[in-house]
Structure 1
Amino acid sequence: MSGIYIHIPFCKQACHYCDFHFSTQLGKKEAMVKALQKEMELRKDEFQDELVETIYFGGGTPSVLTTAEINDLIKTVYANYTVAKSPEITLEANPDDLTEEKILELAQSPINRLSIGIQSFFDEDLKLMNRAHSSVQAIKSLSMATKYFNNISIDLIYGIPGMDNIRWKANIEKALSFKLPHISSYALTVEPKTALKKFIERGIVDDVDDDQAQEQFHILVDVLEANGFVNYEISNFGKDGFFSKNNTSYWQGKKYMGIGPSAHSFDGKHRGWNIRNNIKYIGALQIDKLPMDIETLTKKDRYNEYVMTGLRTIWGVSLKKIELDFGSTYIEHLKQHAQKYLQEHLLFVDEGKLLATKKGKFLVDGIASDLFMLNLK
């Protein structure tokens, strides 16, 4: 099984915290759609033996596309790839784009899963992040979307400066009131070269409080698990039968093809990434050239990637797989470096798998980096 990710590099306005690749200039939208279709056509041989189980529109803001443009891109996938009988087809959308007319159109399209970028149900948080929607639009979009889609995920952000635990709990409770089957939630991170980074440096916005973010993460886990959600990956919570197939494929190391500027691809042995420039991306595809760089992953790279992704999930890191796929040097390295985290009850071993404890989940990226192999090829 494999997946296709389609990056739509357009947004109505720039969120202060975002460092993804996008443009607020929509004039090249039509040319971009044609370029995306061309890339899919040129790369079809890469997946000639693959069954495409997921199609995911990410961004950027894919909901700025018309439903006709979305349908054209999906048709291109079907025309060039072998697609599963009932694929998961997800569209990321912003609340301000989800008018009732748009939702009705999407419900009649092949899209069968919506991922809505709510982030917060409070206007003060949305303004700080420079989101394009209001709390009223967030609530209205969900009220309408839940009438037509049963598979909906929303994004929520915690650790926002000025957002205390009371408001964070209210955010979670509001999300639960819509009886959603999936919630993705992320700590606000301060990325270099973003507006948020500059505002913090100038004292306009308070810096992110890591201790409060960690506390709010644990609140999130406690409340969602009490309401029947499984925290199957650090940032992803799903009801039974509603884990994101797209997200799960990433964490389990399945093949995926990234289409669009800045999109990444992975086939188990190689990683590719497209140029992070809309004009150059379109120009290359107009002359049937793939604007992609590819690297061959070393054994060390593959080990490090498996540890990083595995520890973030409920499936953990298989000690048997480490030994079989990478050898005795790697398994001994892992056991040796994991020991202190086992003693501190941040990691544990269950049925031959290394997993993060509830206490260790928020710290898992740092823990994983300490388990990396650094001095072998």
Structure 2
Amino acid sequence: MSGIYIHIPFCKQACYYCDFHFSTSLKKKEEMLACLRKELFLRKTEFEKEKVETIYFGGGTPSVLNTDELDLLIDEVYRHYDVADAPEITLEANPDDLSRQKIEELAQSRVNRLSIGIQSFDDEDLKMMNRAHNAEEASFCIEYARKMGFDNISIDLIYGVPEMSTERWLKNINKALEYGVPHISSYALTVEPRTALEKLIEKGKVAPVNDELAQEHFNVLVEKLEEHGFIHYELSNFGKEGFFSRNNSAYWLGKKYIGIGPSAHSYDGRQRSWNIANNPKYIRALEKDEIPATFETLSAADRYNEYIMTGLRTIWGVSLRRVEEEFGRTCKEHLLKNSEKYLKEGLLSLNDQVLRTTQKGKFLSDGIASDLFLLNLRETGV
């Protein structure tokens, strides 16, 4: 299984917390679309022996594209790649783009999964984040998308918002549950460097992020969603049976993927690459049939660290057998030794040779993983 990610680097406006690559100017949209198609063509040899099972439009805000523009890019994938019979084709979308007409058009397209950036059903929260939509639009787009036949819908929610009470957070969760969506992605609000949110906090216009509040929100989220039949299959993702994100699951399980567009990342199991995060430079390079990417060959320690990080975030955990097969017995023993304190503290569990975070340890999984990292395999004596 492999996937293709297509980064659409345009947004109507900048959310205060976002540090993804995008431009609020659509002046170069036509040139960008042409270059995305060209990159798909130029990189087809990378997947000669692969079957594409997921196509994911991320961003930015991919829903700024109309269905004809999306079809052009999907056609290009089908033209140059071996695509599975029933691929998962996901479009990230913002509620303000999902008008009645847009949803009707998407329902007739090959897009079969919507990932909607709701973030909150509360206008106060949305204003604080500088989102382009309001609570009414958030509710409408979910209801109408379901009415038009979209059964595979994911929504994003953000917790740990400054001054958001646990009661208000619970109202957000309950509102999401009312719509019967089968997948919810939820993230703690983080203050990224050089974002508007960082500056607002520094100036005292927004209260600082409270980690203890975020953890409380997380615990409420997990408990409530699991009560309603959601499986907490990855730290930030909850899905009903049969509705896990196939694209994201492949990433966490270390499958191959190609990232198309400025700032997009790719991975082939041994090497990682990322395109330049600059729209004009990306366009100029592709117009010369060049791919402006930086490459990194992963060391054994890099691959081990990535496996630990992604594994501990998921229900699949970290297989000690796989660690031994790929990195050696001494490396497995090193992992077990460094996991001892977390096992004793009840933050990790070990069953059937698989290391997993417990309910108590889930929120801390990234920190636990970093403590288990290797600088190099010499640390293990190999």
Which bracket does the TM-score occupy, shorter chain normalised?
over 0.9
SS in 2 for 1:207: coil
SS in 1 for 2:126: helix
For 2:229, give the aligned amino acid: G
Q: Is the 8 A contact 2:300 2:376 kept in 1?
A: no
Structure 2, unmatched stretches of 5+, are none
Matches of 1:17 and 1:333, distance apart in 2? 38
For 1:83, give the aligned amino acid: V
Matches of 1:172 and 1:367, distance apart in 2? 27
2:209 matched to which residue of 1? 208
> Is 1:283 the equivalent of 2:281?
no
SS in 2 for 1:190: coil
Matches of 1:46 and 1:95, distance apart in 2? 35
1:158 matched to which residue of 2? 159
SS in 1 for 2:33: helix
- Cα distance, 1:197 vs. partner? 0.5
Matches of 1:158 and 1:64, distance apart in 2? 26
Q: Is the 8 A contact 2:56 2:89 kept in 1?
A: yes
Q: Which runs of 4+ in 1 moved over 4 A?
A: none
- Cα distance, 1:350 vs. partner? 1.4
SS in 1 for 2:5: strand
- Cα distance, 1:269 vs. partner? 0.3
CA offsets 1:286-324 (integer angstroms, 9 cap, x no match): 010011111111100000000000000000000010011
Q: Is the 8 A contact 2:259 2:265 kept in 1?
A: yes
Matches of 2:351 and 2:337, distance apart in 1? 17
1:229 matched to which residue of 2? 230
Matches of 2:29 and 2:367, distance apart in 1? 39
SS in 2 for 1:153: strand
Matches of 1:106 and 1:31, distance apart in 2? 23
> Is 1:112 the equivalent of 2:115?
no
> Is 1:17 the equivalent of 2:17?
yes
Q: Is the 8 A contact 1:333 1:373 kept in 2?
A: no
1:320 matched to which residue of 2? 321
Matches of 2:147 and 2:48, distance apart in 1? 38
1:300 matched to which residue of 2? 301
SS in 1 for 2:157: strand
Matches of 1:23 and 1:6, distance apart in 2? 15
Q: Is the 8 A contact 1:330 1:373 kept in 2?
A: no
Q: Is the 8 A contact 1:17 1:191 kept in 2?
A: yes
SS in 2 for 1:26: coil
- Cα distance, 1:143 vs. partner? 1.2
Matches of 2:338 and 2:353, distance apart in 1? 16
1:94 matched to which residue of 2? 94
Identity %: 66
Matches of 1:152 and 1:33, distance apart in 2? 26
Matches of 2:132 and 2:333, distance apart in 1? 50
1:30 matched to which residue of 2? 30
Matches of 1:376 and 1:232, distance apart in 2? 30
- Cα distance, 1:328 vs. partner? 2.2
Matches of 1:238 and 1:376, distance apart in 2? 36
1:43 matched to which residue of 2? 43
1:171 matched to which residue of 2? 172
- Cα distance, 1:361 vs. partner? 0.3
Matches of 1:8 and 1:70, distance apart in 2? 10
Q: Is the 8 A contact 1:4 1:55 kept in 2?
A: yes
Structure 1, unmatched stretches of 5+, are none
> Is 1:83 the equivalent of 2:83?
yes
